[in-house]
Amino acid sequence: MASEFWLIVGLGNPGAKYRNTRHNMGFMTVNELAKRWSIHFANHKGLADLGKGTMSLNGQTAKVFLCKPLTYMNDSGQAVQSIREYYRINLDHIVVIHDDMDLEFGRIKLKSGGSAGGHNGIKSIDRCLHSPDYARVRMGVGHASRSGDAHDNTINWVLGEFNAAQRKQLPEFLADGADAAETIVFEGLTKAQDKFNAR
């Protein structure tokens, strides 16, 4: 029997050297949700930091797991698959929050299914779940310079830190990302898209 729990996954890389990088937008947003709902993390099989709790909004409550994979970005799917199978969570109860270079900093787009858009964490999850049909909160980080080696530029960009102006805006951006994930849980993806995709 499927669990009633939601699984909200924030993508990133573990360790202090990655903590404030663009690629860790997912971790940062999940930390914001954990702070809001007083959810504490514990280790899940060495694969993820996993927190369990309840969110309550407008008279509704939802049981949630918050997940930060410890597998490094390119193997994020191993952690998501393990938690999904262990707790029997439906695909339609999974929300993945990740950085997106195709969106300018501060923009949020929500979707389910479709292409991984070159994001290795999403590719790994698609592969491990055998499906792309889960909700995604895409957090814009802008894109790297178009000159020089595109691959190196991309890696340096996503593993780089935010500039001063972006750091100032970051708390509000993370709060918006957390709001978007909550809206998917409580109001469904379509209403959440109406609310956030037009911004």
Catalytic residue IDs: 23
From start to end of 73-134, where are the E strands? 94-100, 108-112
CB 100 within 8 A of CB 142: no
The enclosing H or E element of 56 equals strand 48-57
d(CA 156, CA 179): 29
Q: Which residues contact 194 (CB under 8 A, 6 or more apart)?
A: none
CB 65 within 8 A of CB 44: no
Identify the sign of the CA torsion 38, 42, 48, 49. Answer: positive
